[in-house]
Amino acid sequence: MLKTAEFPIVCIPDLVKEKKFTPLIFPDGQGDAPIGVSEKLFENVLKHYFDEIVFPQQKMLPPGHDLHYTADFLIVEPNTGLHIDIEVDEPISFATGKPTHCIGEDDYRNKCFVDANWLVIRFAEEQVSSQPERCARFIAGAIAQLTGNDTYRRQLLNVEKVTPLKQWSYRQASSLKKKDYRQGYLQKRRN
């Protein structure tokens, strides 16, 4: 039986597992990808806990590609240079109205970042909208576990762990759209 993917989804490069943190490809500027509704709010939380090591909308050009990929957020751990691509995945695109970030849909994109020796952490938009500090705790824990830098994790010790959320299939995302599910959790965040 296949295990259903759950957010947060983590993709760790082999070199990072070997404690070799230098990226094989560095970011090359700020992208112009549309910024999601909850990404701006999450940016404030990330800046609060990670301050100057957070870079929104950073572009990375994989070898053999004509188009860049843009990380929603790049966090660069200051002692090792570990590059962390933080992604915020919504089930329905407001721009197209179609399901997005469905199971398997981002595998190639993840591979491009992992091949560049960037750690990838994907959260569901609902998680960053309803539990942003818990998501920050998860990131801080990953930094501590992989690099030994416990600075950020210590700030978040009293924050609960992020609640896992199953990744959606195309069919499930379509069903969520019919129920206006995305609008529901985004509305809660605004209130």
pLDDT in tens, 36-94: 668 988 999 999 999 999 999 999 999 889 999 999 999 999 999 999 999 999 998 87
In a domain, 103, yes or no: yes
Handedness of CA 10, 68, 57, 52 (dihedral sign): positive
Using 50, 70 and 90 to split pLDDT, how confident is the model at 1? very low
Whether 32 maps to a domain, the answer reads yes
User: Counting beta carbons within 10 angstroms of the beta carbon of residue 61, is it exposed (0 to 12), middle (13 to 18) or buried (19 or more)?
Assistant: middle
* Interval 96-148: pLDDT, tens: 889 999 999 999 999 999 999 999 999 999 999 999 999 999 999 999 999 99
- Angle subtended by helix axes 170-178 and 181-190, to nearest 10: 60
DSSP H helices in the chain: 14-17, 37-50, 107-115, 125-130, 132-147, 151-155, 170-178, 181-190
- Pick the more confident residue, 2 or 115: 115
**Residue 163 domain-assigned?**
yes
pLDDT of residue 164 exceeding 50, the answer is yes
Given a cut of 70, whether residue 191 has pLDDT beyond it is no
pTM for this model (two decimals) = 0.92
Residue 12 lies in a domain: yes
Which pLDDT belongs to residue 187? 67
Cross-strand bridge partners of residue 73: 56, 86
What domain range is 65 assigned to?
6-190
Total number of domains constituting the chain: 1
Q: With respect to residue 1, please indicate whether it lies within any of the assigned structural domains.
A: no
pLDDT exceeds cutoff 70 at 175: yes
